[in-house]
């Protein structure tokens, strides 16, 4: 177990390292003009700009820059923002945005886990009856309609009929986060419901359930004590990953409601070529995703003693 954990951890680190390197090289392929704000573009002539780039080390050959970047990476230092907030360190920009995304993400996740699992259980219990069909229609809708369209519908409904604020604002974080949270939860509820239903239906045809029925256990307690307990194990595997990814915020939801969170920061940084901020964000996203998958596997092993990943080493 310990050996397996260490091996997986090292593998995860290597993957993050490769991703960050690829993105670094890609960002360095952009024209250097982008390193200046419009104001700076007009103020400085070519020579000054060249000197500034030289001083910042941005004209060095890419391997040299990459090496310098790795040294920063060891100390988790991504340098300073060049364009979003000139001269402020990447970490302090990210930290501010992080809390906003995290608040929305955690609430949305709690709601969707609760609602999604309950919906899935109801569907599984009433298989092929009304509740099941309602749930299926909902899952098909979420899976096939583009999120932009469904968010627009949520917005139209929320703002016109419920009179909720249509844009996020920091002065009024309570009511104005209802719609973004609803949008975030909309898709993940369907996800949890779908998988809960599927695992429960699979589980309830097994022999030990038949035995429990023959013994005369009430179907209520079979559902809760046997079926749900076992069906929850594969579901639990995804919880850490989605928990950590909510911290990163959703690009579309945040843009759609002008939430000043991680997602908006990321697109802003890329649009304005703030390479250091992009690096920091990509590193954060990649590591959150990979750590999430890793924790999910560990959690599954803890929950279900039958699962032993260490032997095969293949988790996928």
The window from 12-20, 39-47, 57-65, 175-183 that contacts another protein (CB under 8 A) reads 12-20
Q: Does 166 bind another protein (CB under 8 A)?
A: yes
One DSSP character per residue, 201-243 reads HHHHTSHHHHHHHHHT--HHHIIIIIIIHHHHHHHHTTHHHHH
Q: Does 273 bind another protein (CB under 8 A)?
A: yes
| Nearer to another protein among residue 217 and residue 298 (C-beta) | 298
Contact 126, 116 (CB under 8 A): no
The window from 38-46, 71-79, 141-149, 215-223 that contacts another protein (CB under 8 A) reads 141-149
Q: Does 159 bind another protein (CB under 8 A)?
A: yes
Q: Does 152 bind another protein (CB under 8 A)?
A: yes
Q: How many CB atoms lie within 10 A of CB 61?
A: 8
Q: Does 19 bind another protein (CB under 8 A)?
A: yes
| Nearer to another protein among residue 69 and residue 273 (C-beta) | 273
Q: Does 178 bind another protein (CB under 8 A)?
A: no
Supply the angle between the helices 2-28 and 62-74 in degrees, to the nearest 10: 140
Q: Does 67 bind another protein (CB under 8 A)?
A: no
CA 237 – CA 148 distance, rounded (Å): 28
Q: Does 224 bind another protein (CB under 8 A)?
A: no
Give strand pairing partners of 89: 80
The window from 55-63, 101-109, 135-143, 228-236 that contacts another protein (CB under 8 A) reads 135-143
Contact 296, 240 (CB under 8 A): yes
Structure tokens at 123: 């569907």
Q: Does 29 bind another protein (CB under 8 A)?
A: yes
Interacting residue with another protein among 50, 129, 160, 213 (CB under 8 A) = 160
The window from 108-116, 138-146, 178-186, 212-220 that contacts another protein (CB under 8 A) reads 138-146
Interacting residue with another protein among 4, 8, 23, 177 (CB under 8 A) = 23
* Least Å from the CB of residue 143 to another protein: 7
CA 65 – CA 68 distance, rounded (Å): 5
- Give every CB contact of residue 150 below 8 A, 6+ residues apart in sequence: 141, 142, 183, 186, 187
Region label for 86, one of left (φ > 0), alpha (ψ between -120 and 50) or beta (otherwise): beta
Interacting residue with another protein among 69, 195, 199, 256 (CB under 8 A) = 256
| Nearer to another protein among residue 212 and residue 266 (C-beta) | 266
| Nearer to another protein among residue 26 and residue 211 (C-beta) | 26
| Nearer to another protein among residue 143 and residue 219 (C-beta) | 143
> Measured between alpha carbons, how far is residue 201 from residues 124, 127, 228, 290 in Å?
6, 8, 10, 30
| Nearer to another protein among residue 9 and residue 26 (C-beta) | 26
| Nearer to another protein among residue 140 and residue 302 (C-beta) | 140
**3-state SS class at 80:** strand
Q: Does 36 bind another protein (CB under 8 A)?
A: no
SS (H, E, C) 83-147: CCCCCCEHHHHHHHHHHHHHHHHHHHHHHHHHHHHHHHHHHHHCCCCHHHHHHHHHHHHHHHCCH
Q: Does 213 bind another protein (CB under 8 A)?
A: no
49 alpha carbon, distance to own chain's centre:
38
In the complex, which residues of this chain contact another protein (CB under 8 A)? 15-16, 18-19, 22-23, 26-27, 29-30, 140-141, 143-149, 152-153, 155-156, 159-160, 166, 251-252, 255-256, 266-267, 270-271, 273, 282, 285-286, 289-290, 316
């Amino acid at each position: 177990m310990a050996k397996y954990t260490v091996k997986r951890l090292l593998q995860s680190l290597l993957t993050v390292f490769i991703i960050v390197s690829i993105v670094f090289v890609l960002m360095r392929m952009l024209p250097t003009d982008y390193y200046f704000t419009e104001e700076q573009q007009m103020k400085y002539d070519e020579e000054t700009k060249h000197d500034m780039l030289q001083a910042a080390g941005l004209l060095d050959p890419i391997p040299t820059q990459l090496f310098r970047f790795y040294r920063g990476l060891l100390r988790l230092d991504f340098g300073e923002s060049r364009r979003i907030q000139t001269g402020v360190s990447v970490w302090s920009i990210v930290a501010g945005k992080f809390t906003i995304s995290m608040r929305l993400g955690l609430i949305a996740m709690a709601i969707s886990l609760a609602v999604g699992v309950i919906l899935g259980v109801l569907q599984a219990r009433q298989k092929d009856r009304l509740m099941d069909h309602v749930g299926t229609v909902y899952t098909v809708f979420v899976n096939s309609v583009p999120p932009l369209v469904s968010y627009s519908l949520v917005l139209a409904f929320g703002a016109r009929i419920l009179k909720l604020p249509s844009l996020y604002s920091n002065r009024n974080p309570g009511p104005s986060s209802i719609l973004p949270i609803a949008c975030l939860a909309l898709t993940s509820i369907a996800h949890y419901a779908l998988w809960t239903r599927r695992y429960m239906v699979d589980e309830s045809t097994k022999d030990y359930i038949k035995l429990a029925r023959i013994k005369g256990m009430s179907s209520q307690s079979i559902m809760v004590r046997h079926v749900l307990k076992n069906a929850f194990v594969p579901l639990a595997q995804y919880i850490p990953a989605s928990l950590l990814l909510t911290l990163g915020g959703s690009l579309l939801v945040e843009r759609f409601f002008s939430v000043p969170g991680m997602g908006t920061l990321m697109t802003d940084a890329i649009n304005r070529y703030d390479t250091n901020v992009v690096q920091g964000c990509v590193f954060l996203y990649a590591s959150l995703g990979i750590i999430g998958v890793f924790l999910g596997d560990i959690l599954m092993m803890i929950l279900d003693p039958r699962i032993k990943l260490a032997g095969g080493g293949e988790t996928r």
